[in-house]
Amino acid sequence: MGNKNSSNKKNIKKNNKRKKLEKKRSVYILISKTSTLPSTVIKMWTREPYAHTSLALDIELNEMYSFARKRLRNPFDCGFITEDITKGVFGRDVNTTCRVARLWITEHQHKKLMKALDKFKKDKAFYKYNYIGIFGVVFGKAVEREYNYFCSQFVYHVLDKAGIDMFDKKPGLVRPEDFRIWEEPELLYEGKLNQYRDFLAKHYTRDEKTGKYIEEPGVVHGMKEDIEEVAVAEV
């Protein structure tokens, strides 16, 4: 009996050690509100502060993806795009407000996430914006078609393919609000999007060799009061 308990304790210690040693990767969820007409209409309808969802692979939001307009002046030609917070709609609308949250995932989940993203990149020309799906959300009926997504549906889909547990609802019913109230990611910043990188420079240190910001799981460098101060002063 004693040997069995001792063996169980050793196995538990090994499992805990394995979890601690397992490399963690971070991805970032950006929800935002621009001054565009679609964004304004969505905000009025949902009564939510944010209307758009994006998925980024780095803390500076250098590599970020979503479903949105492909050209600045054409809100009807939409699909899978690479976003830049200094260009396009984000670059034009200097008063864009946002919320940036960091989600730590395992190396295995990260590989699955990249595999899901690679499919979107490879078949980029086939993907269209799920306009009908937006109306489906209004009436509480998920409309899900291959190669058709709206922004929050896309982010949910990629994270779900990575094996990340999120919301108890169909992808075609996921809204930016769901990501706002999701407790798993760590809130990093809330305020004006064009001041986000200044916030990083203030609260994070860059690695001298790689030039990347140094991050640790479970650590939010900006104080809660600082985040709230930015949100109140800038929104």
Q: What is the pTM of this model?
A: 0.83
N-to-C CA span, the chain: 63
Sign of the dihedral through C-alpha 198, 65, 50, 41: positive
Read off the tokens for 169: 């609802």
Q: Does residue 88 sit within a domain?
A: yes
Q: Does residue 37 sit within a domain?
A: yes
Q: Which amino acid is at 200?
A: L
Return the pLDDT at 5: 54
DSSP conformation class of 214: P
Q: Does residue 196 sit within a domain?
A: yes
Q: Is a pLDDT exceeding 60 seen at residue 10? A: no
Tokens 């809660």: give the residue. Answer: 224
Q: Is a pLDDT exceeding 70 seen at residue 7? A: no
Q: What average pLDDT does range 111-119 have in this prediction?
A: 98
3-state secondary structure of 174: coil
The CA-CA-CA angle for residues 95, 81, 66, to 5°, reads 65
How far is 219 from 14, CA to CA, in rounded Å? 25
What is the DSSP pairing of strand 64-71 with strand 74-83? antiparallel
Return the pLDDT at 47: 74
- The 3-state secondary structure of 178-221 reads HHHHCCCCEEEEEEEHHHHHHHHHHHCCECCCCCCECCCCCCCC
Average pLDDT value for the chain: 86
Residues 6+ apart with CB under 8 A from 30: 53, 54, 55, 56, 61, 64, 98, 99, 100
Number of domains the chain contains: 1
Q: Does residue 64 sit within a domain?
A: yes
Domain residue limits at 155: 22-234
Q: Does residue 160 sit within a domain?
A: yes
Task: Give me the half-sphere count of Cα atoms (radius 13 Å) on the Cβ side of residue 91.
Answer: 8
Q: Does residue 13 sit within a domain?
A: no
Tens of pLDDT, residues 41-74: 666 666 789 999 999 999 999 999 999 999 888 8
3-state secondary structure of 5: helix
Q: Does residue 187 sit within a domain?
A: yes
Q: Which CATH number covers residue 26?
A: 3.90.1720.10
Q: Is a pLDDT exceeding 50 seen at residue 230? A: no
Q: Does residue 48 sit within a domain?
A: yes
How far is 137 from 135, CA to CA, in rounded Å? 5
Please say whether the beta carbons of 105 and 27 come within 8 A: yes
CB atoms within 10 A of CB 31: 26
3-state secondary structure of 173: helix
How far is 12 from 26, CA to CA, in rounded Å? 26
What is the DSSP pairing of strand 24-33 with strand 97-106? antiparallel
Return the pLDDT at 17: 47
How far is 58 from 147, CA to CA, in rounded Å? 25
DSSP conformation class of 180: H
Confidence band of 35 (pLDDT split at 50, 70, 90): confident
Tens of pLDDT, residues 116-148: 999 999 999 999 999 999 888 888 999 999 999
Q: What average pLDDT does range 99-110 have in this prediction?
A: 97
Q: Is a pLDDT exceeding 90 seen at residue 166? A: yes
